[in-house]
Chain A
Amino acid sequence: AAGVIQSPRHLIKEKRETATLKCYPIPRHDTVYWYQQGPGQDPQFLISFYEKMQSDKGSIPDRFSAQQFSDYHSELNMSSLELGDSALYFCASSPRGGAYEQYFGPGTRLTVT
């Protein structure tokens, strides 16, 4: 079965640089979520999209932006990177509706040096 695809899997950037993370949801899943997981921490909800529109927003810094495209893939753009942005970034997808579980991608490990 198809799973959530994230690219790249690993990314190393320097402070003040920009990074773009990509997510390809499971086919026919119309809702995409982004999470940030710091070392030894639980995933923190950043933002979600439904049918290419932002549907909810969590603790996403103003330096970050995201969008969902017509093919339902999503990109998380991170600018002016800081050391504290080093984390695992997960994308998840699901059908619309709170009763549905989320399917997570393998994550992108971002290291900011």
Chain B
Amino acid sequence: AQSVAQPEDQVNVAEGNPLTVKCTYSVSGNPYLFWYVQYPNRGLQFLLKYITGDNLVKGSYGFEAEFNKSQTSFHLKKPSALVSDSALYFCAVRDMETSYDKVIFGPGTSLSVIP
């Protein structure tokens, strides 16, 4: 069965330091992977995606993520965190072999950037 894991409920990082939000996935076919961010009482906003090609993908607001097929991971990274990055981050996967539309979201990781 398809699943997404985000092993950390909460990540705290000092402003200016690099940040990593971890994500691992399990699908039966080739995954389409996404990262979304959610601010309080707001809808999810798309950050970046991996479909095919270069394993390192760059997205909005200086975020990037690295696809690692052998480790089935898609960790979100940013070289220098901002206080405004504090939000809830969701990793998501689409398994095109089992469902054309269904997107499986991870449980979310709350990121706090400390001034």
| Complex CA distance for A33 and B85, rounded to whole angstroms | 27
- Which DSSP category, helix, strand, loop or mixed, fits chain B's interface? loop
Shortest CB-to-CB span from A88 to chain B, Å, is 8
Q: What class of interface size applies to chain A in its complex with B?
A: 20 to 34
Shortest CB-to-CB span from A55 to chain B, Å, is 5
Shortest CB-to-CB span from A42 to chain B, Å, is 4
Shortest CB-to-CB span from A52 to chain B, Å, is 14
**Across the A-B interface, the 5 shortest Cβ-Cβ residue pairs:** A104-B43, A56-B101, A48-B101, A42-B105, A101-B46
Contact partner of B105 (CB less than 8 A), chosen from A43, A98, A105, is: A43
Known: A42-B106, A45-B104, A104-B45; 5 extra A-B contacts, CB below 8 A, are: A56-B100, A98-B94, A102-B46, A105-B43, A106-B42
| Complex CA distance for A42 and B32, rounded to whole angstroms | 18
Q: Which residues from chain B contact A45 at a C-beta distance below 8 Å? A: 101-104
**B94-115 vs A, Cβ < 8 Å mask (1 yes, 0 no):** 1010011111111110000000
| Complex CA distance for A31 and B103, rounded to whole angstroms | 13
Shortest CB-to-CB span from B32 to chain A, Å, is 5
Shortest CB-to-CB span from B22 to chain A, Å, is 15
Q: Residue on A with the closest CB to B6?
A: A42
